[in-house]
Amino acid sequence: MDKSNLRVNGKRLRMSLEEMAKIGGTPGGGVERLAHSDEDKTARDLFVSWLKEIHCDVTVDEMGNIFGRRKGEKESLPTVMSGSHVDSQPRGGRFDGILGVMGMLEVMRTLHDNGIVTKRPVTIVDWTNEEGSRFAPAMIASGVWAGKLDRDWAYGRTDKNGKKQGDELARIGYKGKQPAKAFPVHAYYEYHIEQGPILERESKTIGAPKGILCLHWYDIYLTGTANQVGPTPMEGRNDTLCSAAEMILAVNRVAHQLGNMVATVGEIQNYPNSRNIIPDKVHFTVDIRSWDDGHALRAWDLLKKEFNIIAERRSTPIRMEETWRVEHAPFNDKLVRRVLESAEELGYSSHYMVSGAGHDASYMNQICPTAMIFIPSKNGRSHVEVEESTWEDCEAGANILLQCILKSADES
Ligand code: GLV
Ligand code: MN
Ligand code: MN
């Protein structure tokens, strides 16, 4: 058969997404499937059972990454790969990550149903802990797999309750035996919702990002003096939450002032967190992103200076840690053009853009030709329960993925 006429089954894709959305489903219509939670395990189990139905060779590596491999005509040739993640943010959406996994599953099912033979093997992947919300940083398991992060450091990362990532991975039964070590990949595609407003604003169905912004994460720790709020005069307090408040506003201001970047404080822990105790310990996070890595670093330099001044003035000693840094990822031109061309061939409108959200594709881009396929996010909302994309767009993106996979998998 002419492979260019092959299309996915949109109804079946919708059913897989709806089935997955039940796992960790929240009353607000989203999902909560934190990395290494029971819900993560249930979603993984279902995913693996679906892979077995289409006779994929399933392996789980020591970071819990799940690979499903479909044989190629020439087994010695490097595989073509696609996937994303099944974990989610707390009270997150039902498309982020899972669309890329279910979209590729639908592609694999379509190949299976039609008895398609590809020259190269084709592999689907579910990357462990893409979100980095429970265990920082994000994309940690693709980072280890690509040789950019250390496995034991990753195992030792702790959540808010002091639980270790390695132990939690073992607890859910996904600390596999296979080394988390890159094998040769001919091309990697990641299919994802845009998570921003551009495609909707431009009325375009398919987005082809030229790459992903750099991501810099920092952790800030402040210490002060706890005391009874009533008898303690305002003068001379060492109130860590006041220091943090000034610093948080500085993060927002510096991003506005410098432009071409975004900077966010999204997480804060305040201790002892009682309305009638002056806080003596605060931890908060800083996330800085830009297409220009040097620009992001300049912002951090300015912030570091300002944080030190605030901490000094308020007598709240500060400790700053750089937790994670990933360079901006300019994707492979040929693969990005392939996404745009496939959209044209299938009659979908498309848009060349940039990804502000982080994806495992960032690390994959460091070891093999990589590109992504985006579809619109309703009202540009993501990492929230109301995250939404239309079923038609989900199907359109999966068809683009199918065509891109077929083209790459038949290259010699
Ligand atoms: C990943 O979800 C990110 O932080 O962009
Ligand atoms: Mn994602
Ligand atoms: Mn996400």
Say whether domain 214-326 belongs to CATH 2.40.10.10: no
CA 309, distance to chain mean position in Å, is 34
Predicted confidence at residue 1, as pLDDT, reads: 80
Q: What tens digit of pLDDT does each residue of 291-322 get?
A: 999 999 999 999 999 999 999 999 999 999 99
Say if residues 141 and 362 touch (Cβ distance below 8 Å): no
For residues 163 and 268, give the distance between their C-alpha atoms in angstroms, rounded to a whole number: 18
Please report the DSSP string for 220-289 in residue order: EEEE----BTTTS-STT---HHHHHHHHHHHHHHHHHHH-S-EEE---EEEES--TTB---EEEEEEEEE
Q: Using the mean position of ligand 3's atoms as its centre, give its distance from the Cα of residue 192 in Å.
A: 10
Q: What tens digit of pLDDT does each residue of 146-176 get?
A: 999 999 999 999 999 999 999 999 999 999 9
For residues 248 and 238, give the distance between their C-alpha atoms in angstroms, rounded to a whole number: 17
CATH, domain 3-213+328-409, list 3.30.2420.10, 3.90.1200.10, 3.90.1150.10, 3.40.630.10: 3.40.630.10
Predicted confidence at residue 390, as pLDDT, reads: 98
Q: Using the mean position of ligand 3's atoms as its centre, give its distance from the Cα of residue 86 in Å.
A: 10
Nearest CA to ligand 1 atom 2: 131
For residues 178 and 183, give the distance between their C-alpha atoms in angstroms, rounded to a whole number: 12
Q: Which atom of ligand 1 is nearest to the CA of 131?
A: 2
Q: What tens digit of pLDDT does each residue of 358-377 get?
A: 999 999 999 999 999 999 99
Q: Which atom of ligand 1 is nearest to the CA of 139?
A: 1
Nearest CA to ligand 1 atom 3: 358
For residues 341 and 403, give the distance between their C-alpha atoms in angstroms, rounded to a whole number: 10
For residues 235 and 183, give the distance between their C-alpha atoms in angstroms, rounded to a whole number: 61
Return the best residue to mutate from 129, 383, 384, 387 for the ligand 1 pocket (most ligand atoms within 8 A of CB).
Answer: 383
Instruction: Give the HSE-up count for residue 222: Cα atoms under 13 Å, Cβ half-sphere.
Output: 35
For residues 83 and 104, give the distance between their C-alpha atoms in angstroms, rounded to a whole number: 6
Ligand 1, CB cutoff 6 Å, lining residues:
131, 138, 357-358
46 CB-near residues (< 8 Å, 6+ apart): 19, 20, 23
Q: Which residues pair with 207 in a beta bridge?
A: 351, 374
Predicted confidence at residue 36, as pLDDT, reads: 98
SS3 at position 143: helix
For residues 159 and 141, give the distance between their C-alpha atoms in angstroms, rounded to a whole number: 16
Predicted confidence at residue 321, as pLDDT, reads: 98
Q: Which residues pair with 262 in a beta bridge?
A: 289
Q: What tens digit of pLDDT does each residue of 268-279 get?
A: 999 999 999 999
Tell me whether strands 185-193 and 79-84 are parallel, antiparallel or unpaired. Answer: parallel
Q: Which atom of ligand 1 is nearest to the CA of 357?
A: 5
Say if residues 118 and 73 touch (Cβ distance below 8 Å): yes
Helices (H), 64-222: 98-113, 140-145, 151-156, 165-171, 198-202
Question: What stretch of H or E contains 409?
Answer: helix 391-409
Domain residue spans in the chain?
3-213+328-409, 214-326
pTM of the model: 0.97
Return the best residue to mutate from 131, 135, 194, 360 for the ligand 1 pocket (most ligand atoms within 8 A of CB).
Answer: 131
Q: Which residues of the chain have pLDDT under 70?
A: none
Say if residues 66 and 57 touch (Cβ distance below 8 Å): no
Predicted confidence at residue 57, as pLDDT, reads: 98
Give the number of the ligand closest to the Cα of residue 96. 2
Q: Using the mean position of ligand 3's atoms as its centre, give its distance from the Cα of residue 223 in Å.
A: 31
Say if residues 373 and 401 touch (Cβ distance below 8 Å): yes
- CA-based end-to-end distance of the chain: 19
Find tokens 């308020």 and name the residue: 314
